[in-house]
């Protein structure tokens, strides 16, 4: 079983271009179904995940390719994902 706290310590990498997106800052959880809908990674340049920088990467659960010991591999064709632009 994997704990959410274990996910936060793993680096997220986009397999499309090898870009390191960062560490998970938050999760979007469907409380009715008890499932994680998306991982949220702060955009680069943010201080403590809050100030400045790019918009957050919201990575739908379906885009996760592999969860490894140290990394989470995701497939994101574009970096236009944000909390405001994802429809579930």
Q: CB-based contacts of 13: which residues, under 8 Å, 6+ apart?
A: 19, 20, 21, 71, 72, 73, 74
Closest by CA to 40, choosing from 20, 64, 57, is 57
Q: What is the pLDDT of residues 31-68, one digit of tens each?
A: 999 999 999 998 765 455 455 556 788 999 999 999 99
Whole-number average pLDDT of the chain: 81
The pLDDT value given to residue 54: 62
The class of domain 4-74 in CATH terms is mainly beta
The pLDDT value given to residue 45: 58
Cβ-contact 26, 38 below 8 angstroms: no
Name residue, tokens 């997220």: 12
The pLDDT value given to residue 5: 81
The pLDDT value given to residue 49: 47
Whole-Å CA distances, 50 to 42, 56, 71: 8, 10, 23
Domain range list for the chain: 4-74
């Amino acid at each position: 079983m994997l704990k959410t706290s274990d996910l936060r310590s793993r680096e997220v990498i986009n397999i499309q271009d090898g870009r390191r997106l960062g560490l998970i800052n938050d999760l979007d959880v469907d409380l009715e179904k008890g499932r994680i809908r998306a991982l949220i990674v702060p955009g680069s340049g943010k201080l403590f995940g809050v100030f400045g920088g790019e918009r957050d990467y919201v990575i739908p659960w379906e885009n996760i390719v592999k969860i490894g010991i140290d990394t989470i591999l995701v497939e994101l064709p574009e970096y236009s994902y944000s909390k405001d632009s994802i429809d579930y």
